[in-house]
Structure 1
Amino acid sequence: MGNCFGKSTTQRRHDNWKATGIVALRDGGVRSIPSNLLAIAGSVRTLDLSNNSISDLAQEDLQGSLQELDVSNNQLSSLPAALGSLSKLKVLQADTNSIAAVPGQLLQGCSALHTLSLHSNPITPAELEGTPGYTEYDARRRGKYDKVLAGGALLGSAGLDDGLDRLLKAPSPN
């Protein structure tokens, strides 16, 4: 169905995604990655799927396309190992899901990954730190912030946010 300007809303949105490399489907009631996104997967740099009802990320849906991925506030219980093929992925936000583990392929294959946010998930810091590839990921993460930390800027009272919920110990009485 078209409109008076000749292109449907869906086609204009698709053209916009392709031109900008940014796909924003936040708060869209999305249950899976739209099939029309696959046609432009190679040109997508940023994909925001936050605040939806996605329970599974099919490995064939996410390829090429991609430097930043936000799947926060969905219904994910796991992240697919196939995300490890996203060698240009720098930022992965997966807060507020049900993720209990991260596949080693993700930390090993995503050689540009420097920000992994898993707040409000059941994964523990010890579990993430025991994942193959964590040491290399942690070095990239720390390297990104070294210059900022050296000057003391952007470092809050809680220290560097490493993307996990850590239990803080109360100070012991003297």
Structure 2
Amino acid sequence: MGCFMSKNADTKASRIARWRATGIVALRDSKLKTFPDEIITLDTSVRTLDLTHNRIVDIPVEINKLINVQRLILAENFIERLPVSLGKLQSLKLMNLDGNRITSLPDELDQLVRLERLSVSRNLLASLPVTIGSLRNLVLLNVSNNKLQSLPESVGSCSSLEELQANDNLIEDLPSSVCNLSHLKSLCLDNNNVKQTPLNLLKDCKALQNISLHGNPISMDQLQQMEGFQEFEARRKKKFDKQIDSNVMIGSKGLDEGVDL
């Protein structure tokens, strides 16, 4: 028994030493029910933390000790709420919380000033915090498969946003501030209740190349009559021409992907 315990201790010690040396903690598919305490003891050493596909329900408040973590991947767990201390992870660039049971995001999200990619698809979000507008470095926001009825007006302050995915929600209208997203390239709103988009969307979002509105009450005629539609069409076509020239595979939707109704 002593030898067995010693071997286990050595294994755990070597694992922690490896994590500390590489900065990468990966425990995917490990059947974890709780957040491992030993991860917290690594504090400033952790750069990437991946606990995908476990059974974790709670994230400890002490996660704020991982001040140098840049990639936090907690997808496919049973997480219901996020601690406000998550806002202390100010080195964070990517956070993936897909496939959990999260009902709200903390206001302290606004402290994640370096965050570039936030994905919280397949959760139970009924709204997004107004403070999300403080994420000025955010490039990707994926809130698909939730219970959102709207997006906050503040989303228009996410000035670096290039891709907004909000498929499979209950969204009826887009805030007019979306027109402020000058870097937005892709807007995906499949399977919502969108009847119209802001009038200046195509005119003001001069980088927009793809709009996906499949499964919404809005009609193609409405988009075609909007100011800026011809310029949008030119960008869309140019995008796919480049993909063809580069021998990039095009999906089954082909060149119709630009506006999907």
TM over 0.5, shorter chain: yes
Query: Residues 110, 5 of structure 1: CA spacing in aligned structure 2 closer, same or farther, 3 A cutoff?
Result: closer
CA shift digits 1:27-86 (9 cap, x unpaired): 2211222245333x2111111111111111222233114111111111111222221111
RMSD: 2.6
Instruction: Pick one of 55, 62, 68 that aligns with 2:156.
Output: 62
| Residue 2 of structure 1 pairs with residue 2 of structure 2 | no
Partner of 2:221: 126
Corresponding residue number in structure 2 for 1:169: none
Point out the structure with max Rg over C-alpha: 2
Structure 2 matches for 1:19-34, cutoff 5 A?
19-34=114-129
Distance in 2 separating the partners of 1:112 and 1:65: 12
Matched, 1:53 2:147: yes
Structure 2: gaps of 5 or more residues: 1-59, 67-82, 94-112
Question: In 1, Cα distance between the equivalents of 2:116 and 2:124?
Answer: 21
> Which among 155, 160, 177 is matched to residue 82 of structure 1?
177
Match of 2:87 in 1: 11
Number of equivalences:
164
Higher relative contact order (CA 8 A, sep 6+): 1
Q: Which of 169, 186, 190 lines up with 1:91 in the alignment?
A: 186
Q: CA distance change for structure 1 residues 150 and 107 in 2, over 3 Å: closer, same or farther?
A: same
Q: Output the amino acid matched with 1:163.
A: V
Question: What secondary structure, in the 3-state scheme, does the structure 2 residue paired with 1:160 have?
Answer: helix
TM-score (norm 1): 0.79
Cα gap change, 1:91 to 1:31, in 2 (>3 Å):
same
Q: CA deviation at 1:155?
A: 4.7
- Greater CA deviation, 66-75 or 17-26? 17-26
What 5-or-longer segments of structure 1 have no aligned partner?
Answer: 166-174
1:35-46 alignment, distance < 5 Å: 35-39=130-134, 41-46=135-140
- Out of 66-75 and 20-29, give the one that drifted further: 20-29
What code does the residue aligned with 2:140 have? T
TM-score (norm 2): 0.55
| Aligned counterparts of 1:65 and 1:158: Cα–Cα separation in 2 | 28
Deviation at 1:111, TM superposition (A): 0.6
Tell me the residue number matched to 1:108.
203
Amino acid at match of 1:2: V
